[in-house]
Structure 1
Amino acid sequence: MESDPSPQSLLAALAWQVELGADEAIAETPVDRYALGPASAPAAPRTASADPGPLPVAEETDPVRVARQAAGAAVDLEGLRAAMAAFEGCDLKRGARNLVFSDGDPAARVMIVGEAPGREEDRAGRPFVGRAGQLLDRMFAAIGLSRHEGGLYITNVLPWRPPQNRDPLPEEVAMLMPFVERHVELAAPELLVLMGNISCGALLGRRGITRLRGQWGEALGRPALPMVHPAYLLRNPAAKREAWSDLLSLRARLAG
């Protein structure tokens, strides 16, 4: 009596059948190969195909370029808001509750560019609505400007809240700057107020708000006044004297 075949011999037999083109061990119904004719003959042994070379690498999407195209296509502020809402290049959008686009009078002579929404702004979908926003309203009301009664239009560099209110990352600012630039172009204010360090870095290319504040510069082709953020004034009440001096400078510029 012959012994059972070894696993090695079984594998060799299976490999031989594969080389002959066998691809089924058992069919559902018997097949008469002679009746089918030559067309059903076993396929020729498979041969290794030529090396196709490295697979093509998908082109990486540049979020700054996508943002610039989307912003440039907006013909008005509502179109810009829609373009920002549809923009998927910034991960901050996934963790935010609302898009914080703007508040106030779009036809105002003064446009404030803040930094990024906080918790209250994220909930409300409007910039500067927490304690810092209430202080901002009192500050500008003292020189006759109001987001509610005209004369003041407000936005931020970032429309979505960073987690835990951290500072925006440079790449986040870079990818959203095309929207900021188009926002200023469409609103067409006479003057810009850059509220905080992040805003000065984004629009002036310089940081150090305690040194920059009160010194008029130019951003996006318009006169720009750096001012400390109202949140800073809440932590450092002694700085309100300097903020009042900056407000007087703004009022004089508008009157001049």
Structure 2
Amino acid sequence: MSSITMFDALLDVLERRRRDDPYIELSPENQTFLAQAALHASTAPTPAAPAPAAPTPTAPDNCEQIPKSVPQSPGREPSAACEPNAAALTTADPIDLSNTSLVELETMVSACTRCGLCKGRNRTAFADGNTGADLMFIGEGPGADEDREGIPFVGAAGQLLTKIIGAMKIRREDVYIANIVKCRPPRNRNPEPDEAAACLPYLERQIELVAPKVIVTLGAVPLRFLLDQKGIRRLRGNWLEYKGIPVMPTFHPSYLLRVPDAKRDVWNDMQQIMARLGIQK
């Protein structure tokens, strides 16, 4: 991909995020890239675009304490081919999942064509962990690693989440982990409202069947689409509620990779959860 194309793509992502939050943090790398791309945009030629390649995320140097690998479940089967319903691209049709089991739900998700995200997926990332867990974590959506493995939170952010769970004196396999959307958004952007609306019934049924005692929402996306709230910096660390279940909003692990100082805030939030669940420090 040319610098001009990457520059336009990055601006497109920033514009989407600006509509939700006028204050957007940029990493030093992206700041440098924007400055260089803007300088050369008027003179650089536009070569023929090659086939797009998925970016390979790397953790910052200041995250050396994150484990290099964690035990992972075997990769799941590739998802069914996608031919999304044209109407589903703009509005999510109602879907009755009231009599659907988790096994049936996962099968439905793997063949889902309710939004356009299915066109770019390799695998859906339905969930990971204990279906009878007291504690449930909800993130945004799959990244490149999750799209390959078919399991939520297996990349760098997932490794950090596993470490956080371990610090709570809980095993990862004893919690339940899911996302707002089950298919990877292009370029790891945030899900669009129509995409989240198409996928939300699956998550709502997951919550109903797992029936956790506490839910942790990771980042602004689940806070917005599950709880209809905005302002993760303002709301993190404060108890909210979803259908009678206590909810603790906190920062997404990917944010902690960029801003390690925020780990202290997240740990304070986790200690509140431990107290609610009766886990001794």
TM-score (norm 1): 0.72
Instruction: Tell me how far apart the structure 2 counterparts of residues 246 and 169 of structure 1 sit (CA, whole Å).
Output: 28
- Aligned residue for 1:159? 182
- Aligned residue for 1:221? 244
The DSSP-based 3-state class of the residue aligned with 1:252 is helix
Instruction: Tell me how far apart the structure 2 counterparts of residues 138 and 101 of structure 1 sit (CA, whole Å).
Output: 21
Aligned partner of 1:100 among 125, 141, 152: 125
Residue identity matched to 1:119: A
- Aligned residue for 2:92? 64
- Aligned residue for 1:90? 115
Instruction: Tell me how far apart the structure 2 counterparts of residues 167 and 86 of structure 1 sit (CA, whole Å).
Output: 22
Question: Is the Cα contact below 8 Å between 1:63 and 1:89 reproduced in 2?
Answer: no
Aligned partner of 1:79 among 104, 124, 134: 104
Q: Can you give the 5+ residue segments of structure 2 that lack an aligned partner in the other structure?
A: 1-86
For residue 82 of structure 1, report the CA deviation from its aligned partner. 1.2
Residue identity matched to 2:98: G
TM-score (norm 2): 0.66
For residue 231 of structure 1, report the CA deviation from its aligned partner. 0.4
For residue 127 of structure 1, report the CA deviation from its aligned partner. 0.5
Matched, 1:123 2:151: no
For residue 63 of structure 1, report the CA deviation from its aligned partner. 5.6
Aligned partner of 2:210 among 180, 187, 197: 187
- The structure with more radius of gyration: 1
Instruction: Tell me how far apart the structure 2 counterparts of residues 185 and 219 of structure 1 sit (CA, whole Å).
Output: 11
Percent of residue pairs identical: 41
Instruction: Tell me how far apart the structure 1 counterparts of residues 243 and 177 of structure 2 sit (CA, whole Å).
Output: 16
- Aligned residue for 1:9? none
Cα shift readout 1:44-63 (whole Å, capped 9, x = no counterpart): xxxxxxxxxxxxxxxx6786
The DSSP-based 3-state class of the residue aligned with 1:246 is helix
Paired positions, count:
193
Matched, 1:232 2:255: yes
Instruction: Tell me how far apart the structure 2 counterparts of residues 143 and 198 of structure 1 sit (CA, whole Å).
Output: 24
For residue 177 of structure 1, report the CA deviation from its aligned partner. 1.0
The DSSP-based 3-state class of the residue aligned with 2:98 is helix
For residue 97 of structure 1, report the CA deviation from its aligned partner. 0.5
Instruction: Tell me how far apart the structure 2 counterparts of residues 255 and 134 of structure 1 sit (CA, whole Å).
Output: 25
Matched, 1:200 2:223: yes
Cα shift readout 1:100-130 (whole Å, capped 9, x = no counterpart): 0011111110011111001111111000101
Instruction: Tell me how far apart the structure 1 counterparts of residues 245 and 225 of structure 2 sit (CA, whole Å).
Output: 15
Q: Can you give the 5+ residue segments of structure 1 that lack an aligned partner in the other structure?
A: 1-59
For residue 167 of structure 1, report the CA deviation from its aligned partner. 0.9
